[in-house]
Structure 1
Amino acid sequence: MKLPKGIAYRPIATWSVILCVASVACGWVVAQGLYPLMLACVPLMVLAVWRILHIYGNSIRRVTFMFDAIENDDLSFRFNEDPSKVDNTMLNVALNRIKEILSQTKARAEERERYYQLIMESAQTGLITLNDTGSVYQANGEALRIFGVSQLHHVRQLEHSLPEVSRALATIRPGDKLRVSCTTESGDMALMLGCSKIMLEKRPRRVISVSDINNELNEIQVESWNKLSRILTHEIMNSLAPITSLSDTLLHMDRALEPDLERGLETISATSRRLMTFVEGYRRFTRIPAPQREPFEVRELVRQAVVLTAAEEDALRIHVDIEPAETMIYADKAQLGQVMVNLLKNAREAIAGRHDGEIEIRSRIDAAEHVIIEISNNGGAIPAEVTENIFTPFYTTKPDGSGIGLSLSRRIMQLHGGSLRLSCNTDRRVTFTLQIE
């Protein structure tokens, strides 16, 4: 960036020397009384002053242009540094140097901003930055997912879908912690909100963290059940195996057994086998394979589930509404088919014996482009004491039930990144809702 000596100051230095010489000459002419010579000195002085002012004006205009460009966030300019074409080349070099420093600073700031944005998007907690009037400056993907929106510009956007959350976001202040319960298309949520204060552009901003406590509790619960189930299956199978083997061996001995002894051994063998069958239910719950995803249509999934469950279809009214009709999902077809079969079996059992029994299967796409499938029946509300435990593994009210159908179905949906919930429970309508990513 250095210029050769004599180039940087040559124009203004030259005209400054000319002005000085002309001024001295004018003074000498006046002192000698040679007034006619003033006709030569004065124009030269005027020309020198004009050239100096012209160079100064050009310099001011360049500096002003640079500040205007910086104010408009435009750093694409560059001044000519060719001394043969412009005056005061050193100023142009200095201005270009300032521009390069600002460009580097801007690039580093943008790089830091991308870094912080990546951290914000990678967070498992929703983060929102907003001012005191409720305008949202930034919201990460997790916050948008929790609220079920694609964009968020103001907290008033949530007044219709999540009024409790909208009020909480508007009223929470730095240092506060609020717990908000709400219901969305993805299920019931218990949100924990925390607030901090930060100054941006000399203005106060609130940074609010949003966590879905229900999801965290569900994950902990599932992991706890998995650990417990693995321990139980291991211990029970180790105990049952020798009992079953010994009882079968004694029953198939060549010599005849006393009737009471034979009945006792048969009872032991049958009981052991029933227990082993029950333990296999534990294993199925804890050893669900990773989903093998493939694309397929929702109507094909529904059709197969109906065929497998509606053995008495003539007496059973099933209404199917899929909108749009060609809705595609990308998931494990066998696993989702098992979920649909479990839900349809439960719906059939709920309306058994009712002449007006109906089952409705409805599919649609929500605003976040998730596929929502609802399986409804009019078999009467599920008792409150049962709804609290319907997704608890091995909990059942059926005499011959295993209690793993709904818990297994929910686990499958979680492995797909979706959800299964009881979305409606009234005497006129009971609905289970699947959300598929």
Structure 2
Amino acid sequence: MSQPAPVMPTSTKARPTTDPPGSAVGQASRELADAEPTPRAAGFRRVLEATRIVQWEADARTWVFTYVGPQAVRMLGYPVERWYEPGFWAAHVHADDRERVVRFREQAAREREAYEFEYRMIAASGQSVWVHDVVAVDRVDGAPAVIRGFLIDVSQRKRAEAIARASEARLRQLIEQAPDAIIAVRSEGQIAFVNRQAERMFGYRRGELVGRGFEQLVPGQPDVQCLMATVGQGRSPETGGTGDDTAPITGRCRDGRTFPAEINFSPLDTDEGLVIVSTIRDISERLTAETALRQSEERFRIAATLGADIIAEVDIKTGAVEWFGQVDEALGYERGEFPRTFDGWAGQLHPEDRERVMAEVAREVVELRRGLSAEFRIRAKDGSYRHWSVRVAPRLEGQGRPTRFVVVCSDVTEQIVARAEALQHRDALAHVARVSSLGELTGTLAHELNQPLAAILSDAQAAIRLLDRDQPDVPQIREVIRDIVADDRRASAIIQRLRDMMRRGTVVREPVDLCQVVREVREIMRSGLVTRGITVVPDFAGDLPPVVADRIQIQQVVVNLVTNAMQAMDGLTNARLTLGVRGREDAWQVVSVADTGPGIAASAVDTMFEPFSSSRPGGLGMGLSISRSIIEAHGGKIWAENRLDGGATVCFGLPPDGTTGG
């Protein structure tokens, strides 16, 4: 069994037929009712039965069919004999149409008028079938006796009408939701339709525009009227050679405000005649954006010309480079002489920098579509090299693909030279500070050296006495000599540490065990700590990995901090110095030097690491300042704080790789 067709909306169409009683319909109905049809009537019936039209006849009082044409089987699928059952017709009229249809038939019988109307009947398959019913009424002695008519299947037409209505509704919805104003204008110039955007754009309500002249929306613009007339005559308008039907206009709103717009006309033939459909787009924001873009580009060019920065825009596909700013002058070339291609530009880079920079641009900008910062050396015309710092950003278009990238170039040669000179001065100052620190520790260092030297002297004298015996004790002499060698090595180690701290050389970054560095400083300063009665408490974490640093510089910082702590506790009883090395979750390591002295004055907490800041009479105030510069050059941080139980703690932290330092 086929699926039921969708139910169409109920038609309310019902109108008196124009067929008079003597018409073909009325005549056919009467002849069909003859008990013994004439040859003419029989022939007419055969003609009707050969069509798809179902002729029928019923008793006006009982509404029981007395005749139904055989086409009814093909139309609804019921046997003809079913139609003769009382109530069959009303029972098979669609429930939504039944009351209306029965009322119309009763009215037709009562008023003796022929009617035509449409309704749905339920077929044997369960589908709804739209029928057009033509009804005529015959009376006997003034009372309705027989009703006759024809049923015509109009389902296909109804479906087409429903599709057309749905399509029209969708089209109307699209028009109402369009971002542009759409206005339909009759050939004589009156507005026939406007959408919601037209109301919003011009500030009118729909009822205020329909029937009014289109000219009130674009006053004083005869070119628009001519353009409409041209389109209405089916000719392609001349719009300045743009190849389309769009023209610039000035729209006027209800409040008198005007705005720039573009208009497009299209002719449309309707049942009411030719209509010109105009599409109007407000281009105020676009013109504002275009103006802002032009102004921005002009400012960009002026800034690039007058500023210190040089800007380049590179076309990734062609490799063409457009320079903004004085790139030729900056590198000693004549105007236009410096390469205007990316490959030519790359050829000017220092050989040691070229491969790295090109790889970074290809990976970060072209492949990963993100910006980057880089520094490199670029050759000037005289063969010298300038240092450039650049920032590169891709311009994404289409599907997010970079088609061009912009490079902002800054000449940082002077900064690089100044930075190198500053590093030299810092290293020189650090060396002076180391020498100064060692000078202050002369007594301690002398005591450290005196111990192994005195032991060597004593052991040597003992060895001589052993050798003077008649029977020298060789094993004992050998043991004494071993002690001499050990004490000599101890003295040599002390001297080597002093030489390392005294030497002035280049910074050497290498893996350093911070725990070992602190232990070495403790050994160097052990005599001074013992002399002052200071107890040293080690607090080292185990299994810490090395950090990348300059061993001598870090030793200098620890010596400085330990010296300050010793001076802070000078003369105190039960003085205690805690030396700690701890790791953090972020892989940094922190060295701490904690004392039990009086602590840091509140006024000195924020300035103690500044140059020439000292709380000790006669102090230069450079030790902590130099320590800070050393730690920051390693990418680390240094800080101080007072302890709750008395005393102060100075700490410095270092990253694992020291890459931030200079």
TM range (shorter): 0.3 to 0.5
Normalising by structure 1, report the TM-score. Answer: 0.35
Answer with 1 or 2: which has the greater Rg: 2
The higher relative CO (CA closer than 8 Å, separation ≥ 6) is in 1
Higher share of residues assigned helix: 1
Normalising by structure 2, report the TM-score. Answer: 0.24
